[in-house]
Chain A
Amino acid sequence: MKRHVELKNHQREIYFFQLRLILSLGFVVVMLLILLSRFFYLQVVRQGYFKTLSDNNRISIVPIVPNRGLIMDRNGIVLAQNYSGYTLEIAPSKVADLDSTIDALAQLIDIQPRDRKRFKKLLAETHTSDSLPIRSRLSDVEVARFAAQRYRFPGVEIKARLFREYPYSDKMSHLIGYIGRINDKDMEQLEADNMDANYRGSDYIGKIGVEQSYENDLHGTTGFEQVEVDAGGRGVRVLSRSAPKSGSSLILTLDAKLQEVAEQAFGSYRGALVAIDPSNGEVLAFVSKPGYDPNLFVDGIDTENWDALNNSPDVPLNNRALRGQYPPGSTIKPFMALAGLAYNKRQPGTTISDPGYFTLPGSSHHYRDWKAGGHGSVDLFKSIVISCDTYYYGLATDLGIDNMHTFLDQFGFGKKTGLDMDGEASGLLPSPEWKQRRYKQIWYPGDTVSAGIGQGYTLVTPMQLAYATAVLANDGVGYRPHMVKQVLRNAEHEAPSAPAAVAMDLKLPADNIALVKRAMVAVTQPGGTAAGASAGANYRFGGKTGTAQVIGMKQGEKYVASQISERNRDHAWFIAFAPADKPRIALAVLAENGGHGGSTAAPIARKVIDYYLLGKAPKPLQTVVESPEKEDD
């Protein structure tokens, strides 16, 4: 019996066991199916996604930075070039103690405190994990010395790089500008312009001048190498390569020799000069004195040099030619004369009697002529030659500010010339609307009187005045002023330079222009305000002197240069075109605190024209001689 019960139990037990075993089998099958469907999901459904991730893992894109284009003058003289050299670079993220590392490096390589300061500044400005240079232009000896000790400096490397160099240093600084390390602000701009991809790997970008305006041409196209990397980021092999395209070189319209002559002609004066070829708008010379050494900026300027430049009373960093705004003074008179003729307010033969001052009807206020007692009987021709103020006080009043504004606006006053360089100031051509907007005041008749001789509110840049002079010299046809003659897009295949673009054709009556130009030529002849500057010239040229007041004179007060501190003395202007009959050069010269246009600005112009027309090499630097000739204003 007992055995029977056990047997029964045994069978039941086996039955239950096998039931559970089958359940287990079912469980196993379900779980294996889950695994299978997971594999299907990963390897079929999402295969593309994971393939991409896997490729991203293993493929790293390494940018190859293109060589920056060169900048040359119109004759092929190199103004900005690249040279290869070695820099000592530190990757801050890989160096535990920066200061002690630099201390140790200083024992091998000459590292000055200013190098350290510059490095610290760079470190604060850039937020990349890249290495930053502490010293550039290493000597061969220094390179060798470091190479031998290299194992001691993880995270420090010597790199061969192309450096930008400006051989003319401060002589071309305001024109060429400079490149500098890309900072956070530059990066934001590049991102906004969708250009950041092309700058992967690039350290430098044009900051100012032509280097900035033509950045897109100069930079070139960054090449890429697809490199297979391992998890540690080390390159294993190159998968594909797209070569970089070097930046285009620029041929400027500038004549570097002419620029040098002009620079030298300024002597110790501060100021600006812009010379334009009136027949096509090419900028031949572009001077802003003083300049600065653009080479200082390339790898980040050190604090001492920066402070010296930034705090100098001469403001060398200010581009006076492009951004300096000054009252045009008497240089406005030829344009006013043209306005008088155009609006029929003055005839060539009409004369006025100049008592030495002008009064508005119903006012006793005397607007003084620069010459006490006046010039006597003055017609339009003479008014330019001797720069008669009284004539233009009356003319301005007769024209009215609106007509003046309309007419002068055509010559480009009060607006940017469209020069192919960023940062141009637009000057100021006042109008009643402007005054209402700016000062919430009405326009007084007296404002018109001052505007007639280029004082008061009117402001021009040397660039603008040179352009207006070029338009006048070219009989009212203006070409857009430009710095770059040709962009060499490809070394083998030179793109032809774009034809000069006509920016304006004022359609001025030929007689009017001829009369004014003749008068301007007379300015440089005996009896004219710039007679001294033209002495001995075997060609004829037209010109006009001008004076921009720095401080205002009260009624009855007399301007005596010797009694006024140097910085408050008047700025001297001279505009010119040469040769007189078929002008090839038009220019505007400003000598800050130079006093008289005829005595300081005109001789500078003369030297520039001499060189340009005659190829006359500049004489050894000579100080500008005070002219005994007549003064204007």
Chain B
Amino acid sequence: MINSLKRRFVAHLDPVLMYALGALMFVSLVLMYSASDGNWTRVLGQLANITVAFVALWIVANMPLHYLMRIAVPIYIIGMVLLLGVITPLGVNSHGATRWLNIGVATIQPSELMKIAVPLMMAWYFEKHEASLTLKNYFVATLLLVMPIALIVRQPDLGTALLIAASGFYVLFLAGLSWRIMIGLALTAAVSAPFLWSHMHDYQRLRIKMLFDPSQDALGKGYHTIQGMIAVGSGGILGKGYMNGTQTHLDFLPERTTDFIFAVYSEEFGLLGNLILLTLYGFVIARGFMITANASTYFTRLMAGSITLTFFTYTFVNMGMVSGILPVVGVPLPLISYGGTSMLTLYLGFGMLMSIHSHKKLVQS
């Protein structure tokens, strides 16, 4: 009976993904202990984050596919309303950005919800018009993407906007957006770049400038990048050893448990550790691709593909920013950085992937 309960509990959990997520969770907790200088509160906090996220994952994984279809529109609309709410006096300003919304009991960040809601909405929309896709449909889908992004850029929150733009673009791409339009859009972007530059916030411009020469402002904005690169580079091939990273433990690294946790990892475990971590991420991504390729419906294919590629984007942007090939945009290292919201969003995505995979099998069997 216990066996049958157990079987029912894990029935919709994809074992391959679960092993990879478990391994990454282990890395996250072990690293959190070092990054926080042996602070158990931080480690236990992260464990709580993962627990909550796992519950969400389990629920979503057990959700039949048509539930996902059904909630797509309401979630998108709620997300948009909340995003608009941020502009009203209910928006909470902190560090020069208004990203949070006071809903009485708590302060939430609506843009996080949109990371799921936008691709979900777009995939739903393409599924609806699967039979007769015209240019008009792509245009509407793009509009569904651009509206929330515009609101998020305005907050300003470049990192989140970028990730949502990526997740939406992946849906468009997988839905077969014609090459001609993509090239046209790319050209338009190139042409409008100077215009965008002139409308950027100073801190955004500074971050982009810092990308090309972080030493320009070594004690200010460039400090993060420089210290991150020093941590990664000084780690060498084998790393300085667990708990022995001097950049980490002597306070030189900023944001050690969050956006820059990869620098901690890289400093202590070196190139070899990086290879192992990349392999783990590669494993997750590869599994995502497999699920995508085998997905049964148009909606689930788009959704699974977008989730997988967005997860990869997270990983690439964070590692790229810590190692100095991308500007510092405030993207956490997926599944490892401390933070409940991003953990929840990511696990929700994996829950959907699992649901897409297991419910397809159920349908088949």
- A40 near B271 (CB under 8 angstroms)? yes
- A35 near B320 (CB under 8 angstroms)? yes
Distance to closest chain B CB from A544 (angstroms)? 72
B273-325 residues with Cβ-Cβ distance < 8 A to A are 274-275, 278, 282, 285, 289, 292-293, 298, 301, 305, 309, 312, 316, 319-320, 323-325
- A231 near B250 (CB under 8 angstroms)? yes
Distance to closest chain A CB from B163 (angstroms)? 15
A1-34 residues with Cβ-Cβ distance < 8 A to B are 6, 9, 13, 16-18, 20-21, 24-25, 28, 31-32, 34
Residues of B close to A42: CB separation below 8 A:
229, 232-233, 323-324
- B233 near A47 (CB under 8 angstroms)? yes
* Cα-based distance from A28 to B251 in the complex (angstroms): 34
Count residues of chain A with CB under 8 A from any CB of chain B: 38
Does B62 sit at the interface, judged by CB under 8 A?
no
Residues of A close to B316: CB separation below 8 A:
31-32, 35
- B250 near A13 (CB under 8 angstroms)? no
Does B159 sit at the interface, judged by CB under 8 A?
no
Does A623 sit at the interface, judged by CB under 8 A?
no
Does B235 sit at the interface, judged by CB under 8 A?
yes
Does B11 sit at the interface, judged by CB under 8 A?
no
Interface segment, one of A50-58, A90-98, A205-213, A598-606: A50-58
B160-175: contact bitstring with A at CB < 8 Å (1 yes, 0 no)? 0000000000100110
- A54 near B247 (CB under 8 angstroms)? yes
Given A20-B174, A28-B309, A50-B230, residue A43 in contact with residue B237 (CB < 8 A): yes
- B247 near A43 (CB under 8 angstroms)? no
* Cα-based distance from A40 to B275 in the complex (angstroms): 10
* Cα-based distance from A9 to B270 in the complex (angstroms): 50
- A32 near B234 (CB under 8 angstroms)? no
B183-231 residues with Cβ-Cβ distance < 8 A to A are 227, 229-231
Residues of B close to A108: CB separation below 8 A:
none
- A43 near B293 (CB under 8 angstroms)? no
B36-79: contact bitstring with A at CB < 8 Å (1 yes, 0 no)? 00000000000000000000000000000000000000000000
Does A277 sit at the interface, judged by CB under 8 A?
no
Given A43-B266, A43-B270, A230-B250, residue A38 in contact with residue B325 (CB < 8 A): yes
* Cα-based distance from A229 to B249 in the complex (angstroms): 10
Given A18-B293, A31-B312, A44-B237, residue A50 in contact with residue B278 (CB < 8 A): no
- B234 near A51 (CB under 8 angstroms)? yes
Closest to A9 in B: B131
Residues of A close to B235: CB separation below 8 A:
43, 47
Does A308 sit at the interface, judged by CB under 8 A?
no
* Cα-based distance from A50 to B235 in the complex (angstroms): 8
Residues of B close to A53: CB separation below 8 A:
230, 233-234
Residues of A close to B232: CB separation below 8 A:
39, 42-43, 50
* Cα-based distance from A57 to B253 in the complex (angstroms): 11
- A57 near B319 (CB under 8 angstroms)? no
Does B252 sit at the interface, judged by CB under 8 A?
yes
- B236 near A47 (CB under 8 angstroms)? yes
- A32 near B282 (CB under 8 angstroms)? yes
Distance to closest chain A CB from B276 (angstroms)? 12
By DSSP majority rule, is chain B's interface helix, strand, loop, or mixed? Answer: helix
A220-242: contact bitstring with B at CB < 8 Å (1 yes, 0 no)? 00000000111110001000000
Does A306 sit at the interface, judged by CB under 8 A?
no
- A54 near B278 (CB under 8 angstroms)? no
Residues of A close to B173: CB separation below 8 A:
20, 24
Residues of B close to A21: CB separation below 8 A:
174, 289, 292-293, 305
Residues of B close to A31: CB separation below 8 A:
312, 316
- B247 near A51 (CB under 8 angstroms)? no
Does A49 sit at the interface, judged by CB under 8 A?
yes
Given A38-B323, A43-B274, A58-B250, residue A28 in contact with residue B234 (CB < 8 A): no
Does A36 sit at the interface, judged by CB under 8 A?
yes
Given A38-B323, A43-B270, residue A24 in contact with residue B170 (CB < 8 A): yes
Does A46 sit at the interface, judged by CB under 8 A?
yes
* Cα-based distance from A18 to B301 in the complex (angstroms): 10
Distance to closest chain A CB from B83 (angstroms)? 28
- A28 near B285 (CB under 8 angstroms)? yes
Given A20-B173, A21-B174, residue A54 in contact with residue B282 (CB < 8 A): no
Distance to closest chain A CB from B35 (angstroms)? 15
Does B341 sit at the interface, judged by CB under 8 A?
no
Residues of B close to A9: CB separation below 8 A:
131
Q: Which of A13, A28, A236 is within 8 Å of B312, CB to CB?
A: A28
- B266 near A25 (CB under 8 angstroms)? no
Distance to closest chain B CB from A98 (angstroms)? 25
Distance to closest chain A CB from B19 (angstroms)? 20
Residues of B close to A51: CB separation below 8 A:
233-234, 236
Residues of A close to B305: CB separation below 8 A:
21, 24
Besides A57-B250, A230-B252, 17 other A-B contacts (C-beta < 8 A): A20-B173, A21-B174, A24-B173, A25-B289, A28-B312, A35-B320, A38-B323, A38-B324, A38-B325, A43-B233, A43-B270, A44-B271, A47-B233, A47-B234, A47-B235, A50-B229, A50-B230
5 pairs, CB–CB < 8 Å, chain A vs chain B:
A24-B289, A24-B309, A39-B232, A42-B232, A236-B250
| Pairs of residues from A and B, 5 with the lowest C-beta to C-beta distance, nearest first | A50-B233, A54-B234, A231-B251, A42-B233, A230-B250
